[in-house]
Structure 1
Amino acid sequence: MSILSTGTCNELSIDNINILKSIGIRTVVDFLSQNPEEISKKCFLSIKVIAVIRKALLAQHASLVVTGSNLYAHVSQKLMILSTGIKSIDELLSGGLLSTELTEVAGPSASGKTQICHAVTAKTSMIFGQCVLYISSGADFSCERLRDLLILNGLSEMELPKALNQVKCVQAFDVFQLLQILHNLPALMHDDSTFYKHVKLVIVDSVAAVISPIIGGKHIEGHGLMMQVARKLKEIVEENVAVLVTNRIVQFNNLSKPALGTSWLHVPHTRILLTNKNQDGTASNRLKREAMIIKSSRQVRIACLNITQLLITFTYTYKALLKGIMKE
């Protein structure tokens, strides 16, 4: 809280400051919160002097007035919506992955988490100037699979190299390697690097694979390292980048829930839960998949969407494409 002092304008002299103090006006907030006419009557200063002081104080201390339309235009110019490449998932997310948000896809083994990561990587890299950093904690990333998905999306052989050059995969087999990558990334985005300067999507597949081994037991530093990963991911999101992470599922009281505990709950802005089910609701290895939003910071209601038919079509089309390539 700023106290009235000389130097703001000629009318705000020591004598006038003492007069204002005598009627209980000691700070800038005290002066600006009262009616100028009331101040003039109480301290016997002319309304012209009060107006000059008020104008000077507003110019020095008040924030700029921004209209709602200007603020919306400024924000909308920065935000981007990245399609996942799967129509039903895009509908579930009201368009796709939003920049400045961290989206988590959780599910059991073979539920389609890595498949979604590859699909959104292919869809994003098809647009010139949109680069993808894929951080893999295992051997799940496949350049051949990405190439096939790009062909499936309509890219010609001549356009493939340009799209593939906009994707970079790095390995992080433990939490320290992941932290090093995330720590260096913001600085790389601000330099003149032709790749990192244009990164619009960062994928971590999977975040649970590097964090789960250090939580519990004798690893007392595990929780702190997990929070460091969360903080670094939030810093990357602030660079107007969309972040997608995958997580595994654990069973608790016969309920399926994403791993990493309650401390991780606040990290994702949006959480998608993938499940494999039969028609009767029992677990199955068949391609019967369901996606449900269990947390969202921008959608009013929790949405549930059955993506079985699309994923089955997507998978069989992918297999058909591979057969065609092998025949050639």
Structure 2
Amino acid sequence: MRIALISDAWHPQINGVVTTLTNTVATLKTLGHEVELITPERFKTYPWPGYPDVGLAFLCGPKARTILKAFKPDAIHLVTEGPIGYAVRRYCHEFGFRYTSSYLSHFPEYFKLRIGFPVWISETYLRWFHCDSARVMVSTASLETQLYQAGYRRLARWSRGVDTELYRPQPKDFIKDKRPIFMFTGRVAIEKNIEAFLKLDLPGTKYVIGDGPQKALLSNKYPAARFTGYQQKESLSRFMAAADVFVFPSRTDTFGVALLEALACGVPVAAFPVQGSKDVIIDAQTGFLNEDLQLAALSALELNSGDCRRYALENTWEKCTKQLVDNLVPMV
């Protein structure tokens, strides 16, 4: 199948959407599909305020249409709802093409936290964006329920996977600091709620792996914590495998790919009992979910790393990529 994937998120961004898309494209090609990826790297972009690595491509419709006409896809999937996704949606409507889309992130909550943008405006835009999609793909059962209650229809499941060869158990002595090691990895931004982790009274050492607009503020406020900046691939894997507990304080993630990465490294998770975490973590087996995040983190120290690893092995990129393919629809 010839598949066009449209995304406003791409490298050099480091986030769950980019991780998902990178692995999905590679797996699609392995499965024998042809893929045309239309992302910001193909257009002139403008930095999102406060996020210089996030480039938004405006007025990209003419070039996107040229690319699509040359590729002649069998199916079009809109991964994100930004300017490129909007432009290709408009193209599909103009020519009567069918398409599918994804609801990957709670952007209304993010925009509210970052810039105070009214949630109802963002939610109205997202409902409009997805209203004519042949299928709206979501990663978890709880997100599907939430969107259905909000009026979304034609919902379908597209889960997430993990590279269990890259993320694997490795020696703990990679980190020399006092143990236990409690770790967060991801964008250091307000929507990740990282301060809820940093202010916990925990033994040992706290690690924050990642970068973002809150790094300077949080590293100054919590000097005892270790802030490493962005790590990727093998370096990131070694850091994560050296942790004793992965602490995930986010209340807004729809999935949290980092949860599976930690579990694949044999590291149990502590998180709030909210959407995303509840769909990934088996409470008291691969992690602990509790509104008392400190209690969850301390309790997770007692969990079996082998159970975490075995659970992660069931979540392959091939499995969820086949879900995506099964959900696609012919353009005409």
Shared fold by TM > 0.5? no
TM-score where L is the length of structure 1: 0.30
TM-score where L is the length of structure 2: 0.30
- Structure number with bigger Rg: 1
